[in-house]
Amino acid sequence: MKVVFWGREFLRLKEIIAGAFSGHDYFIADPEADGDSLGTAEMLVVRPMKVGDEFLSGAPALRLVQQWGAGAEGIDLGACSRRGIFACNVPSLGTGNAEGVAEIAFLHMLLLAKRFFRAQEKLLEGKVYTPPGITLWKKKGCVLGLGNVGRSITSRMKAFGMTVAGVNRTPPGDGGAAWGVDAFYPLEEMAEAVRGARFVVCALALTPETERIVGDSLFSAMDRDAFFINVARGPVVDRSALERALDGGGIAGAGLDVLWEEPHRTDDPLLANPRVVVTPHIGGVNDASLEGVLRFILENADRLAAGEPPLSCLNGKEMERKPT
């Protein structure tokens, strides 16, 4: 099985990939230098990127596009199905992905709540017991998106003594109890859900429906002392609206593990905005997730080689109607 890891970022994982994929004919491709490796790939492992008709036309041997992680919004499922190509992601819960992203959400909440950068300044000035921060305890949190990540955030918020409003496209049917939220709101009532929340955490999957769904109307519904945290995907948020809310004092600050362009521009003004903390999309980049994701992808490679259908297939129904 010719397995191609598509992206220079995978070179960092060279040794661990070598250890795991020794039973396959694997290759780590730098798209700029090794573009022709696409022509022979049977399984392609991708980071978030656009995989559409044009791209697939250069991969005639391809049988499986495998997302590295959960968010596979860049993969055109219809285009894959038409070519008889499986499109798969890695389930995020229990692989260290959802758990790691929830932890990054807490890192951002705590950095903002405790005014960490200000505390570092005070420290260097020789000051103690300052700056005063806020507790998460007894505050209201609002979680946008109750998938694996959102629910992992919710359960941790509850343990921190927060009340949680949860927003999701589909309702749980029980008022939200099964998801651990204190109050459930459908997507169209998002602006109601954020009222009174001190922390609004975005964990929405990026789809055509959710693109730029977090915009002016949401930010103006948020309290002026509230923090907005995005651990989902940049494009879920209307960047200009966020900048307006930050600059106009509509919200108190933002914590972003994801940006609109990745890799980002180093002169992106958000990196220098004192009300904003940015991390370079590291939510899912951890020991547990590396092991969990790699083990899952290896199993899919093995299954494909053995003629079995791959796991966590996103276009399974369409593919059942096709010869593979």
The answer to whether the bond into 186 is cis (omega within 30° of 0) is: no
Q: Which stretch binds a copy of itself (CB under 8 A): 80-88, 109-117, 212-220, 308-316?
A: 109-117
Rank residues 162 and 190 by Cβ distance to a copy of itself and give the closer one: 162
* Residue corresponding to tokens 């914590």: 255
CA–CA gap between residue 37 and residue 21 (Å, rounded):
17
Q: Is 15 in the site for a copy of itself (CB under 8 A)?
A: no
DSSP labels, 16-61: HHHHH-TTSEEEEE-TTT-GGGGGG-SEEEESS--B-HHHHTT-TT
Interacting residue with a copy of itself among 216, 286, 299, 302 (CB under 8 A): 286
Rank residues 147 and 310 by Cβ distance to a copy of itself and give the closer one: 147
- Taking residues 194 to 233 in sequence order and writing x for each that binds a copy of itself by CB under 8 A, - otherwise, the string is ----------------------------------------
Q: Is the dihedral of CA 104, 105, 109, 115 positive or negative?
A: positive
- Which own/partner contact pairs does 259-265 have at CB distance under 8 Å and 24+ positions apart? 259/234, 260/234, 260/235, 261/234, 262/48, 262/234
End-to-end Cα, the chain, rounded Å? 15
Supply the DSSP symbol for 303: H
* Residue corresponding to tokens 């399984």: 43
Interacting residue with a copy of itself among 1, 20, 119, 183 (CB under 8 A): 119
Q: Which of residues 244-263 bind a copy of itself (CB under 8 A)?
A: 262-263
Minimum Å gap between C-beta 263 and a copy of itself is: 5
Interacting residue with a copy of itself among 63, 140, 156, 233 (CB under 8 A): 156
Minimum Å gap between C-beta 284 and a copy of itself is: 8
Binding site for a copy of itself (CB under 8 A): 9, 12, 47, 96, 99-100, 103-104, 106-107, 110-111, 113-114, 116, 119-120, 122-138, 155-156, 158-161, 262-266, 271, 278-282, 285-290
